[in-house]
Amino acid sequence: MTIRAILLDKDGTFVDFDRTWGPAAFRVMERMAKGQRPGIERLMAVSHFDEAAMRFMPTSPLVAGSAADYGPLWAEALGLPFSAAVTDEMEFLFVEEGLAGLTPIGDPAGAIGALKARGLTLGVVTNDSEKGARHQTARLGIDHHFDYIVGWDSGHGRKPAPGQITAFLDAFGMHPQEVAMIGDSLHDMHAARAAGVVAVGVTSGPLVPDDFHLHADVVLPSFMELGGWLDGLAGAAQPSPLAKASPSLTPSS
């Protein structure tokens, strides 16, 4: 079946996670702790943040999680009761600081524009907030290419659960086999598999496991390779393109 839609994870897929969110998160921690060093250190500890490298460790709950996951940890570190007010402040600061240091992977404007020119329906499925995703895609000049943008707070749950993807299938009336989910983490692949869509892994993010290829239908170096992969599917002209995709287009790591 022909691929009619591409759903993209954001961070680690077309936004450079470490270069964007390492410095941004540190600034958010400083602001949430009111500049007080003990509070900053507690936030770094629960966030598994390496200040010297200005990046998150692979074990960090912030790498693939959402504010719903790490918000309670931050509240406890700051001695605050966890509430919507805490996550609201966090989200506001993350949107602001994330835009200040936004660093793309490759050329999102060119690559995503080329995907749209193929007539594909495009979406962003992220564990960031919907507001954050909309602001960042706008800053990158690609928001107008997307027909669907959802975050952890959009009402469809968050990855690795499939709700964000199944909501897309329902809204656009597509079969799972017509949709590919692109992402850099196991959360993305598990959500894709649970929804029945094509799972396309990219190795451009911070949490790519050695056995990534066992969890994905296809693994590519980055989302910039999607055009070539789609061309390979069209050229193969087989009833089951995933089973016959060219090895040159489906690297295993």
Q: What is the mean pLDDT of residues 8-35?
A: 96
pLDDT tens digits, one per residue of 119-164: 999 999 999 999 999 999 999 999 999 999 999 999 999 999 999 9
Residue 56 tokens, joined: 């998150």
pLDDT at 252 over 50: no
Over residues 180-193, the pLDDT tens digits come to: 999 999 999 999 99
Per the structure block, which two tokens stand in for 16?
């450079």
Write down the pLDDT at residue 248: 39
Mean pLDDT of 230-238: 79
pLDDT band for position 64 (cuts 50, 70, 90):
confident
Give the residue from 6, 4, 3, 5 showing the smallest Cα distance to 182: 6
Reported pTM: 0.85
> Does the structure show a pLDDT above 70 at 241?
no
CA distance 25 to 46: 13
Give yes or no for residue 84 having a pLDDT over 80.
yes
Tokens representing 232 are 């390979």
Write down the pLDDT at residue 235. Answer: 78
Say if residue 66's pLDDT is above 70: yes
Q: What angle do CA 121, 177, 248 make, to 5 degrees?
A: 90
Is the pLDDT assigned to residue 206 strictly greater than 90? no
68-74 average pLDDT score: 90
List of domains in the chain: 5-16+104-249 (3.40.50.1000), 18-100 (no CATH)
The mean pLDDT value of the chain amounts to: 91
Q: In the chain, what's the furthest Cα-to-Cα distance? A: 61
SS3 142: coil
Residue 156 makes CB contacts below 8 A (sequence gap 6+) with 150, 163, 164, 166, 167
Side-by-side strand order, sheet with 5-8? 148-150, 121-125, 5-8, 179-183, 198-202, 218-220
Q: State the amino acid at position 131 in one-letter form.
A: K
pLDDT at 249 over 60: no
pLDDT confidence tier of residue 238, bands split at 50, 70 and 90: low
Q: What is the pLDDT of residues 43-63, one digit of tens each?
A: 999 999 999 999 999 889 888
Backbone torsions φ then ψ of 122, nearest 5 degrees: -120, 145
Mean pLDDT, range 98-121, rounded to an integer: 96
Write down the pLDDT at residue 245. Answer: 45
Overall average pLDDT of the 235-248 stretch: 50
Mean pLDDT, rounded, for 26-53: 97
Cα–Cα distance for residue pair 64/75, rounded to 1 Å: 19
pLDDT at position 1 = 57
